[in-house]
């Protein structure tokens, strides 16, 4: 066995063990925290229903599988995207990757959730005090990816998670680990990816908002502040297994199929299928569908079919690609995603 195959096998085994260790027994929907980690980014992947853990390439695949960034051919790449999410939330994402020869690819990413102003209410002013607060949710990631051989790539992302809501806040760290294997079984175009998302310690809210003014019965002293201890919460860990296959139709046209199974720690498991048609690797059309086996009718899966497209162009020495995706939803307006990728 080659050393690179041995390394990849060890990493894959570690991923499986980690996924099993963090998988929860039974349904614990709604009991996790840091749910902003589950909000996807990337127009190409969302158009294909999030199936790109085995088919992604370059900095655009960073959120889905950090190993796929090791496939990046450019010396450097920049990626920015914006999504209109549920209830008029805005999801902004940016990532920069640099390819260091014989070392690997280092990447930095930032995701923020734009919520807007929320009126401050109290027990005595249920209609509002006239003040507002603006929640801030940020995830900053540092990633390392490496192509170990012409078939095997591995990647690791460390995410710093911050949540700030008025006078309370929480900070935590989570990790994503991924493996990618191309030409599976000697079949050209067939790839497999395995990823564990959001492995990390529990988080807990703290801050001045946890202080309450109260009296202690039986003591001759005035009211004073006491701190409420918030319960810690776990990160929404998941493990994903994906297959992808790219086939050439002729010299100008090709099509790629992908599918994944996602086991979630705090919600029902998901199954996704996606496809991408390419004309000369310049024009792209995409579509996908995701489904979930809900435990009961009250846990309806709200996301429906998705589709999108993109165009790639050369601007001198810069390679640019513009992508768009739309994902339908129940009860809310659909999600619109626009992304720009620049390669240098």
Query: 139 lies in a domain?
Result: yes
- For residues 43 and 56, give the distance between their C-alpha atoms in angstroms, rounded to a whole number: 12
Query: 213 lies in a domain?
Result: no
pLDDT bin (cut points 50, 70, 90) of residue 165 is confident
Tokens standing for 311?
């165009």
pLDDT digits (tens, 9 = 90+) for 13-67: 455 555 544 444 445 566 678 889 999 999 999 999 999 899 988 899 999 999 9
Mean pLDDT of 112-122: 86
Query: 219 lies in a domain?
Result: no
Query: 203 lies in a domain?
Result: no
Dmax (CA) for the chain in angstroms is 88
User: What is the tally of structural domains in the chain?
Assistant: 1
Query: 210 lies in a domain?
Result: no
Query: 48 lies in a domain?
Result: yes
Please state, as a whole number, how many other Cβ atoms lie within 10 Å of the Cβ of residue 190: 17
pLDDT bin (cut points 50, 70, 90) of residue 295 is very low
pLDDT bin (cut points 50, 70, 90) of residue 294 is low
What residues contact residue 251 under an 8 Å CB cut-off, 6+ apart? none
Lowest mean pLDDT of 50-64, 241-255, 282-296, name the range. Answer: 282-296
**Angle CA(290)–CA(295)–CA(299) in degrees, nearest 5?**
70
Parent domain of 105: 3-197+236-343
Q: What is the CATH number of the domain that holds 294?
A: 2.40.160.40
Lowest mean pLDDT of 76-90, 148-162, 177-191, 209-223, name the range. Answer: 209-223
- For residues 58 and 337, give the distance between their C-alpha atoms in angstroms, rounded to a whole number: 18
Query: 211 lies in a domain?
Result: no
Query: 258 lies in a domain?
Result: yes
């Amino acid at each position: 066995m080659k050393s690179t195959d041995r390394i990849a096998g060890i990493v894959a085994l570690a991923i499986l063990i980690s996924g099993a260790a963090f998988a929860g027994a039974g349904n614990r929907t709604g009991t996790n925290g840091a749910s902003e980690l589950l909000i996807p980014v990337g127009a190409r992947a969302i158009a294909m229903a999030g199936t790109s853990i085995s088919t992604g390439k370059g900095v655009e695949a960073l959120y889905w599988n950090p190993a796929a960034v090791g496939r990046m051919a450019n010396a450097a790449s920049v990626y920015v995207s914006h999504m209109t999410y549920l209830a008029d939330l805005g999801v902004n994402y940016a990532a920069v990757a640099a390819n260091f020869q014989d070392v690997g690819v280092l990447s930095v990413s930032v995701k923020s959730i734009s919520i807007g102003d929320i009126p401050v209410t109290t027990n005595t002013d249920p209609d509002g005090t006239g003040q507002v607060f603006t929640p801030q949710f940020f995830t900053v990631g540092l990633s390392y990816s490496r192509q170990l051989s012409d078939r095997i790539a591995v990647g690791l992302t460390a995410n710093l998670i911050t949540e700030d809501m008025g006078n309370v806040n929480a900070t935590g760290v989570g990790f994503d680990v991924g493996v990618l294997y191309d030409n599976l079984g000697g079949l050209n175009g067939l790839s497999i990816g395995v990823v564990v998302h959001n492995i990390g310690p529990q988080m807990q809210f703290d801050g001045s908002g946890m202080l309450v003014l109260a009296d202690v019965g039986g003591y001759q002293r005035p009211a004073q502040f006491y701190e409420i201890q918030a319960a810690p919460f776990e990160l929404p860990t998941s493990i994903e297994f994906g297959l992808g296959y790219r086939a050439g139709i002729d010299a100008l046209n090709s099509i790629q199929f992908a599918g994944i199974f996602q086991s979630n720690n705090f919600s029902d498991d998901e199954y996704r299928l996606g496809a991408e048609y390419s004309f000369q690797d310049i024009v792209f059309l995409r579509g996908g569908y995701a489904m979930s086996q809900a435990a009961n009718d009250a846990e309806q899966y709200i996301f429906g079919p998705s589709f999108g497209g993109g165009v790639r162009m050369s601007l001198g020495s810069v390679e640019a690609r513009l992508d768009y995706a739309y994902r339908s939803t129940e009860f809310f307006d659909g999600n619109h995603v626009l992304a720009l990728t620049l390669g240098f």
